[in-house]
Structure 1
Amino acid sequence: MYVHCQKLNEVLTTGIVQAALSTGRRCYVPRVEDRQANMSFLKIVSMEDLQPAPPFGILEPQECEESGVPRENALQAEGPLDVLFMPGLAFDLQGGRLGRGGGYYDSFVTRCKLRAKEKGWAPPLLVALTFQCQMVEEVPMGGDDVHVDAVVTSEKIVWCSERGAAEGFGQ
């Protein structure tokens, strides 16, 4: 789950993160590692595990817990990820996603799918959270760009893949 950034006008996700944590679900939050599109998702157990990171003040987990133990990395977890919520600038009905140009999510999703394949797991369902005004007719997609399975707005859920429609998470 990503933690929204107010400065970037992203969909508010605090309630979703808190709900996941309160029900005992494993919750991994992104941490930008460098400027070469490397991002990890680290496990948190409470919102207090998050600290603002420059330059936008996005809340991220520290690499280690307060005790000094490294946080669990989603790509090293014992089980598969069920769903990955993603932000973006624009989306289309075919699951096209326009990010901010860094390739962080595309790179992570590619690595996540590779790990799932190696382990014989289903890859996570890719779900975009967006405002209705960010829905466009067509998002330009490159060869490394990842399509999402569903786009959720305040008005509707758009199933962009057969898998998304089949899984129909909590319609």
Structure 2
Amino acid sequence: MDEKKQLRRSMKKQLENLSFPLYEDYSYKIAEKLFKDKNWLEAKSIGITISKPPEVDTLQIIRKAWEQGKQIAIPKCNPETRKLVFRTFTRFSQLEMVYSGLYEPVVSLTEEVNADALDLLIVPGLAFTKSGFRLGFGGGYYDRYLGEHKKQTVSLAFSQQVVAQLPVEPHDLPVSKIITEAEVIECER
């Protein structure tokens, strides 16, 4: 566990050094690759987070999905049960700030979406291997949720977030694909 904490700290520090112009440029390039991806093109419903720097910007991706008539669902975390659910999301006024400065859906304004109703799940993380394993932010929410979600999974990352290896535990589930500003990685299984 200490190794994961150190890796999280190290990656956050690296990402904080990414200048705003590069952050915007790389986020745009990643989004453009995603919009051409078969999984995106075929998906009618997409699960995605509301990003905050230094994560790849997802706001432009959400807007594009709405323009294309795709249903968007965003995560709501329950810290007591350590569970994640996705809820419908049709406008930014349905958000509220919760712990750690994260934005989540207002429950009274949104509806829960079953895991099997999401055609594509865009999974966040701090670091990734080319085989699709990821280092999350430490809550374990996505590790648990990935066990329920059986459809396509994609992670969006800056090239520097793709590393040679990560500590992998038995409960860790890999994503199918990683999209960076430089490449699309079909994860080895």
Choose which of 148, 151, 156 in structure 1 pairs with 2:178. 151
TM-score, length-scaled by structure 2? 0.70
Higher share of residues assigned helix:
2
Give the alignment's Cα RMSD to 1 decimal.
1.6
| Shift in Å, 1:161 | 4.6
Are residues 161 and 47 of structure 1, via their aligned partners in 2, closer, same or farther at CA, if it must alter by over 3 Å?
farther
Give the counterpart letter for 1:28 in structure 2: A
**Alpha-carbon separation, structure 2, partners of 1:34 and 1:75:** 19
The one-character-per-residue Cα deviations of 1:13-49 (angstroms, maximum 9, x if unpaired) are 1000111122221110011112442111100111221
Aligned AA (1:29):
I
How far apart are the structure 1 equivalents of 2:84 and 2:178? 22
Match of 1:72 among 87, 108, 111: 111
How far does the alpha carbon of each residue in 1:56-107 deviate from its partner, in whole angstroms, 9 at most, with x for none?
A: x211111111xxxxx321217xx63111001111101111111122110011
Structure with larger RCO (C-alpha < 8 A, sep 6+) = 2
- 1:19 partner letter: K
Matched pairs, number? 142
Q: Which runs of 5+ in 2 are unaligned?
A: 1-47
Aligned pair partner of 2:145 in 105, 108, 129 = 108
* 2:158–2:180 contact (8 Å) kept in structure 1: yes
| Partners of 1:59 and 1:23 in 2: CA distance | 23
2:133 is matched with 96
Change (3 A) 1:17 1:51: same
Match of 1:50 in 2: 95
SS in 2 for 1:158: strand
Partner of residue 12, structure 1 = 57
**1:85: which partner in 2?**
122
Return the alpha-carbon distance in structure 2 between the equivalents of residues 85 and 52 of structure 1.
Answer: 21
Relative to structure 1, is the Cα distance of residues 111 and 136 closer, same or farther in structure 2, using a 3 angstrom cutoff? same
Report if aligned partners of 2:74, 2:87 keep a CA contact under 8 Å in 1. yes
Residue identity in the other structure for 1:15: Q
- Runs of 4+ aligned residues of structure 1 deviating over 6 Å after TM superposition are none
% identical equivalent positions: 29
Residues 1:96 and 1:60: Cα distance change in structure 2 (over 3 Å): same
Answer whether contact 2:119 2:151 (CA < 8 A) is retained.
yes
